[in-house]
Structure 1
């Protein structure tokens, strides 16, 4: 009996979950996103966080724009990702408003090049988010995450976990309910979330 290699399992699941995400009716996306935001914004990890690392969502991802506004309105330090020229690597940059964003790779809005960025090796010093809100193609109920396959977040979060071992940040996987599975295949370097937030559930893991 043949066993499907793990990379092929992930590839098949990635295609399935991306189809499910794209199939979320456009007229329901705002309502579903608002439900998920409601779970996150009343959580202890959000309320107590002084610095939050977020991301600018893709068009078919659960919208994060209201979360950016909520962080700015609450006076939190807001960090957003900016990819490096080296494939698979990125920094997080403190951003104060949307005027400090520009169009970058992967059709994403990114912080301006002129703004200083922090890599995972600087975690625990000047760069110390209390909370990372993390995108994903899918998540499971044990906190496993399936990304796009580039390894950007796994590399960064692994570095953060090692550099900030004494005060690890909370890691919240954010997605639609259709992207949450009972179990996902995982490899040794796959970073696990501490919480999962969907339009239906808030999971503390």
Structure 2
């Protein structure tokens, strides 16, 4: 893991520019391109997981052009898994917790307008999850990802360093979001993932 130094003003600007460019490209995908990419995600996740446990999976609901994971959950490797969604932890600002979720459960928007479970269904400790599927704006082959800039996932995942058990971390997105190693300026808080899973947009 490279030693992470504070970002310079030029690096911060580079990250912001890259985030704007890739978010715009993601929003410009057609409905057909999104659907085809989503259908390819299930087999790609199954290959990435191989024979590892996947009984308890944390995922995200697609927002602002993110790769939609819902079709992937019907894959034979995944459709028996219990699924969990992130919600903003009211007791630890800036952190996430994960609640059990099913499609029939009611949802409500959080402070950012992103849907999260409305019912106080049981959650699962971060370390007790088998897999966490993380959204990303950009990522590199070294396993570093760049999110939307709020730092929620990075702060939450930093807690895993103190645990003897940890879930498998997979960043998910479109092929074009994967940049060359070294092209993504690393911030001191960036948490690497175990693997990148991509789906083409064509």
Q: Which TM-score band applies after superposition, normalised by the shorter structure?
A: 0.7 to 0.9
Query: What is the match of residue 115 of structure 1?
Result: 121
What is the distance in 1 between the residues matched to 2:44 and 2:152? 26
Alpha-carbon offset, residue 64 of structure 1: 1.3
TM-score of the superposed pair, with normalisation by structure 1? 0.81
Deviation at 1:25, TM superposition (A): 2.4
* 3-state DSSP of counterpart to 1:11: helix
Distance 1:44 1:89 in 2: 26
**Match 1:16 to one of 2, 15, 21:** 21
State how far apart, in whole Å, the 2-side matches of 1:12 and 1:152 are: 20
2: CA distance, partners of 1:45 / 1:103: 34
Going from structure 1 to structure 2, the CA distance change for 1:168 and 1:117 (only over 3 Å counts) comes to closer
Kindly provide the CA deviation profile for residues 56-77 of structure 1, in whole angstroms up to 9, marking residues without a partner as x.
1115111111234458973222
- Give the equivalent residue in structure 2 for 1:162: 162
Superposition deviation, residue 22 in structure 1 = 1.3
Output the TM-score relative to the length of structure 2. 0.82
Q: Does 1:29 align with 2:34?
A: yes
- Count of residues in correspondence between the two structures: 189
User: What is the Cα-based RMSD across aligned positions, in Å?
Assistant: 2.4
How far residue 46 of structure 1 moved from its aligned partner, in angstroms, is: 7.2
Q: Deviations over 1:132-173 (max 9, x none)?
A: 10001111111111111111000111112323xx22221111
Map residues 31-180 of structure 1 onto 2, 5 A cutoff. Answer: 31-45=36-50, 48-70=53-75, 74-85=79-90, 87-95=93-101, 97-105=102-110, 106-118=112-124, 122-124=125-127, 128-163=128-163, 166-180=164-178
Structure 2: gaps of 5 or more residues: 1-7
Aligned pair in 2 of structure 1 residues 72, 91: CA closer, same or farther (>3 Å)? farther
* Deviation larger for 11-20 or 73-82: 73-82
